[in-house]
């Protein structure tokens, strides 16, 4: 009947042979007799539906059995349709056509899904590649941008102490303190780059004041203090979060917890946290370093001055929480200084 309608038909003499041939040829439909040697149609159907390579092939059970129990057994085994012997040509054709349409649509969806998955996979690879390229480009821009900031900052510092190591130490001290304070990763990364800009305003202070070996006159000291506002003005107006933090640090790193600092006499938590951090790390490095007007102090003496005070420097100048952390991690400051000393 089917061959006469133009279908390509293959046959098998038993259930086991049918299973083998179905897996090999992947037919579009299987007509399966229930009564067969070696393996009946129920078992053959169950095994066909249990294998990945054949479970999507529609199965029509052909049988002389017309009772309800046989049909339920067939459906439980996974049969898609039933034909009762003797087979009617019109019924056979209609049932087969319906199943083949369903299979064709299912095959289309599966193939489309595979094509879509492949397309998505390829596009994902392309997007990941483009993202990496953008990241690499941004990283190069960021490095160049930070290098420019660093060199400009070093130009200001060079007038005073003539060393890039001071900037490195300030950066490392600030990073250590920020981590110990439990600040966010973004904050830590930002202060690494922003802290060295604390004295960029010194570029606007005359050398005669910066390099003076003796005590500054009141007028000279007032002029020297303007490096805070000069630095803030240099860094102001930027969209960069690094420069924005640098601006706050430049303006506030000489403010004191007790309100005795400059330029605005801020007190307590009115001082930005980054300013409070740089205040203590800059004081530590200043005491450890030699200047035109002072000798370098030892680590022990520096810690003693910051924690207990010496008349000029007082413990009340610093945020108590930050001071407590400094006392706990002061050996870390010593290690940074020794690794990057002048």
pLDDT digit string, tens, across residues 67-91: 677 778 878 888 888 888 888 888 8
Asked if the domains 3-87 and 139-339 are classified in one and the same CATH topology, the answer is: no
Residue 253, both tokens: 């790193």
Rounded to an integer, what distance in angstroms lies between the CA atom of residue 129 and that of residue 149? 30
pLDDT digit string, tens, across residues 15-29: 888 888 888 888 999
Rounded to an integer, what distance in angstroms lies between the CA atom of residue 255 and that of residue 228? 10
Global pTM?
Answer: 0.61
What is the CATH number that goes with domain 3-87? 3.40.50.2300
Under-50 pLDDT residues of the chain: none
Is-contact 106 56, C-beta < 8 A?
yes
Domain ranges within the chain, ordered by starting residue = 3-87, 139-339
Q: What pLDDT is stored for residue 302 in this prediction?
A: 96
- CA-closest candidate to residue 2, choices 106, 105, 104, 91: 91
Q: What pLDDT is stored for residue 161 in this prediction?
A: 57
- How many secondary structure helices (H) and strands (E) does the chain include? 13, 3
Residue ranges in 14-161 assigned as alpha helix (H): 15-25, 41-49, 68-77, 89-160
Residue 82 pairs in a beta bridge with: 61
Q: What pLDDT is stored for residue 54 in this prediction?
A: 85
Assign a CATH topology to domain 139-339.
Answer: Hypothetical protein af1432 (1.10.3210)
- CA-closest candidate to residue 4, choices 112, 92, 99, 115: 92
Q: What pLDDT is stored for residue 124 in this prediction?
A: 84
């Amino acid at each position: 009947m089917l061959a006469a309608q133009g279908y390509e038909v293959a046959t098998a003499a038993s259930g086991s042979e049918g299973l083998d041939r179905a897996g090999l040829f992947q037919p579009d439909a299987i007509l399966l007799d229930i009564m067969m040697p070696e393996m009946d149609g129920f078992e053959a159907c169950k095994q066909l539906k249990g294998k990945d390579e054949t479970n999507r092939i529609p199965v029509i059970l052909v049988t002389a059995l017309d009772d309800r129990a046989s049909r339920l057994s067939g459906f439980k085994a996974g049969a898609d349709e039933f034909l009762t012997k003797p087979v009617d040509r019109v019924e056979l054709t209609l049932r087969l056509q319906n199943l083949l349409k369903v299979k064709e649509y299912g095959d289309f969806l599966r193939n489309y899904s595979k094509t879509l998955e492949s397309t998505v996979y390829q596009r994902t690879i392309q997007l990941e590649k483009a993202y990496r390229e953008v990241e690499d480009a941004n990283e190069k821009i960021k490095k160049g941008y930070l290098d420019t900031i660093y060199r400009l900052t070093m130009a200001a510092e060079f007038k005073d102490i003539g060393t890039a190591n001071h900037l490195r130490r300030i950066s490392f001290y600030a990073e250590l303190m920020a981590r110990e304070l439990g600040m966010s990763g973004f904050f830590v990364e930002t202060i690494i780059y922003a802290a060295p800009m604390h004295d960029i305003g010194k570029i606007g202070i005359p050398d005669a004041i910066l390099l003076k070996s003796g005590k500054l006159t009141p007028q000279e000291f007032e002029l020297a203090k303007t490096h805070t506002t000069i630095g803030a003005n240099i860094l102001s107006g930027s969209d960069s979060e690094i420069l924005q933090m640098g601006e706050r640090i430049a303006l506030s790193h000489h403010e004191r917890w007790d309100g005795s600092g400059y330029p605005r006499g801020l007190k307590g938590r009115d001082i930005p946290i980054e300013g409070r951090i740089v205040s203590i790390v800059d004081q530590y490095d200043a005491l450890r370093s030699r200047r035109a007007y002072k000798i370098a102090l030892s680590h022990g003496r520096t810690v003693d001055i910051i924690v207990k005070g010496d008349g000029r420097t007082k413990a009340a100048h610093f945020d108590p929480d930050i001071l407590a952390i400094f006392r706990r991690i002061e050996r870390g400051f010593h290690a940074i200084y020794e690794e990057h000393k002048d």
